[in-house]
Amino acid sequence: MKKKNIFNILAGLLMLSVVSCQSKLEDLYLDPDGFTNPDIQGFYTNTQQQLGIFRYSYGEMFHNFNTLNPILGSGGFQNDGAPSSFSWVHDPYSDAYSKLRSIAAMQQVYNGLSEQDKNDYEIFMWTAGAIKEYIFHQLTDVCGDVPYFKAMQGAELNFFPPFDKQSEIYPAMLANLKEISTNLKGYTLNGSFIQQQFTRNDVYFNGNITKWRVFINSLRMRLALRLTNVMPELAKSTIQEVLADDEYAKDRATSITLVDRRPDQAMELLIFRSLSERLTLRLFVPANMLNLMRKTGFADDPRIPVIFQPDKDGNYTAMPTEAPDVAAIASQITTTNLAATFPSFYNRTTFERNFGMPYQIITSSEIHLLKAEAKLRWADLTITAADEYRAAIKESIDIYYEINALNPDNQYNGFIPASKAVKPPDATINTFLDQKVAEFNAAAAGEKLGLIYDQRYIHYNMLKPYELWADTRRLMKELGPRVRKSPSNVRMMERTVYPTSEELNNPVNFQAVKASNNYTTPVWWTGR
């Protein structure tokens, strides 16, 4: 009896220790810093807040200034006249697919939901679909043919998507955006817990469905205009549809802008640090831009003091474009004291450490210029080109003054007092606008397109390189050197190369794009 008891006790202790060992192992199985139970809302907000979609990110802009400013003539630099070679450290390709990962995760969760929950979550899915197209249009504009229809299916073990033609991606993006826009027309959020969360998780537009429609329709117009060389019918019909729908960016209130919600991290993560670091290398006032803003016989463009800041002598001076002209002023160039430079820089108060500035996603100025161009192409559209042209310039002036005035930083010793610009009275601005409109009306048809391009060049400047780059490449077919603002020794970069990882890991499909894996083959929609 005693022996049996001892045996039972021992067996019991052994059992206990086995159980405790097993539970210790189980406790350590999961990464203590990993989260196991995510939801669609969290993926959705993560999609929106990723750097480089709506918020211009430090790393990306740091490399964009270096590569794109000389190519687009949007940033003055000490041009040495050497023939340009191509390189762009930013890898938009891998970047785009990694941004799409949260949307793919949303889709996975969504696929497993009940019908009721699917209905409630569709607003998340539709608007995420619009963000997906926004990411894809940026990607295909710089890479041409990319995996689109079968991309992002790794979770289903489809690891090797084929490269889709840009000529098929563009109509598909437009069709999808049209469908989303139609779905959202008249849509209102219901009282369900899920839909009520949309207003909080939608950090772009706070659940404002109308704002989403404005964004989507404006994006449709942007995408449509890319097709003027290659699918003019689709371009025209899309623009007509959006005009008829009448919800798109028309003024400041409907411009799609975003104010960042993490000002504490903005200096490190967003455009501001890249500006500080590239100032003396790529952000002098570019001569071609300043010359357009200060034409003989015209009043000075009111944007000069908000986009640029004065040099050491209080003048707005530009870095010359061509190497011999740079060499001629070499002895005068000074950046030792950043508050007293020669020539002038971009306006540091407008663009640097301005953590509350609205990021310009699709502004009314862009759409006004787009409509003016559309009228020149399709005379039957109900648009007055000159009015759009005027509104574009006026609203561009307004938004840059608005941004300049928003900078709360009065302490930073990098700012010079003159970079806090004072907006001229309306009368002065109107005089300027009248002159610009008169110039536009007097111009021949081709030159009107050129003048519209010039306004894009000023409005986008170094801040929106992708839009300026796309319009430049598109218009080069019709306008040639008229839209080239770069030095003569800087060749046009038509696209960027694919990352080696795609060639290495998707080699069979990669054959389809291998021949255009360079910087010089124009993408399909250029028509060149």
Partner 1 sequence: MGGVIQKRTSEWTSRNTRSDGFITRDWFSFSNAKTTPVESNGFRRYSLLYGAFGSVQVGFKEWLYLELQGRNDWSSILPPANNSYFYPGASVSWIFSETLKMPAWVSFGKFRVSWADVGRPGPEYFSNNVYDIGNYGGVITYAPRGSRPPEDLKPERKREVELGLETKFFNSRLGLEVNYYNGNTYDQIMGLSVPPSSGFGDTKINAGQISHSGIEVFINATPLKTGSFNWNTVLNFHSDKPMVKKLAQGITTQGLWGMSGARVVAVEGQPWGQVVVRPYKVNENGERIVEGGYYSTDPTKEEVIGKVLPDIAGGFNNTISYKGLSLDFNIDYQFGSTLVSQTNMYMVGNGSAASTTAYRDEAHGGLPYYINNSSTLVLLPSHTSGVPADSKYPFIMHDGVILPGVQPDGKPNETIITAADKHSYYWQTFMDIQPDIVYKNDYIKLRNIVLTYELPKKLTNKIRFDRLAVSLFANNLWYIYKTMPNVDAEALNGTNVFYENNAFPTTRSYGASIRASF
Least distance from partner 1 to the Cβ atom of residue 527, Å: 23
Return the residue matching tokens 């699709």.
362
Residue 158 CB, nearest approach to partner 1 (Å): 7
Residue 142 buriedness (CB in 10 A; 0-12 / 13-18 / 19+): buried
Q: How far is the CB of 151 from partner 1 (least distance, A)?
A: 5
Rounded to a whole number of angstroms, the minimum distance from the CB of residue 359 to partner 1 is: 14
The nearest distance, CB 177 to partner 1, in angstroms, is 21
Cβ proximity to partner 1, 160 vs 298, nearer residue: 160
Min separation Cβ 171 and partner 1, Å: 20
Residue 428 CB, shortest distance to partner 1, in Å, is 39
Cα–Cα distance measured from residue 105 to residue 100, given in angstroms and rounded to the nearest whole number: 9
Question: Which of residues 185 and 514 has its CB atom nearest to partner 1 in the complex?
Answer: 514
- Say how many C-beta atoms besides its own lie within 10 A of residue 49's C-beta: 16
Distance set, CA 44 to CA 96, 323, 360 (Å): 16, 48, 21
Task: Name residue, tokens 């559209």.
Answer: 381
Structure-token match 């907006």, residue found = 423
Amino acid occupying residue 240: Q
Name which of 518, 475, 520, 516 is nearest 165 in CA terms: 516
Of 248, 258, 253, 252, the closest CA to residue 203 belongs to: 258
> Can you tell me which residue has the tokens 């504009």?
141
Among residues 134 and 308, whose Cβ is nearest to partner 1?
A: 134
- Give the integer Cα–Cα distance in Å for 41 and 57: 23
Closest to partner 1 by CB, 151 or 285:
151
Q: Angle at Cα 234 formed by Cα 228 and Cα 235, nearest 5°?
A: 40
Q: At its nearest, how many Å lie between partner 1 and the CB of residue 86? A: 5
From the CB of 197, what's the least distance to partner 1, in Å? 10
Query: In angstroms, what is the C-alpha Rg of the chain?
Result: 27
Would you give the end-to-end CA distance of the chain in angstroms?
98
Question: Measured from the CB atom, is 78 or 517 closer to partner 1?
Answer: 517
- Secondary structure of residue 406 in the 3-state scheme: helix
Q: Which phi and psi (to 5°) does residue 76 adopt?
A: -75, 140
Nearer of residues 47 and 364 to partner 1, judged by Cβ: 47
Name beta bridge partners: 284: 76, 345
If the CB atoms of residues 295 and 514 are measured against partner 1, the closer one turns out to be: 514
Distances (CA, A) of 152 to 43, 132, 167, 232, 517: 15, 11, 20, 30, 21
Nearer to partner 1, 98 or 291 (CB): 98
- Please say which residue, 379 or 504, places its beta carbon nearer to partner 1: 504
**450 vs 499 by CB, closer to partner 1:** 499
Cβ atoms of 230 and 167 closer than 8 Å: yes
Residue 144: partners with Cβ closer than 8 Å, 6 or more residues away = 166, 495, 513, 516, 521, 523, 524
**Whether the Cβ atoms of residue 73 and residue 285 lie closer than 8 Å to each other:** no
Question: Which residue matches tokens 């840059």?
Answer: 400
Instruction: Return the number of the residue (201 or 404) whose C-beta is nearest partner 1.
Output: 201
CA distances, 54 to each of 102, 214, 354, 357 (Å): 16, 15, 16, 12
Q: How far is the CB of 45 from partner 1 (least distance, A)?
A: 5
Least distance (Å) between residue 329 CB and partner 1:
30
* Measured distance CA(318)–CA(76) in Å, rounded: 7
Residue 383: helix, strand or coil by DSSP? coil
Min dist. Cβ of residue 83 to partner 1 (A): 10
Judged by CB, which is closer to partner 1: 153, or 280?
153
Tell me the one-letter amino acid at 509. N
Question: How far from chain centre, in Å, is Cα 50?
Answer: 12
Q: Quick one: 361 or 367, whose CB is closer to partner 1?
A: 361
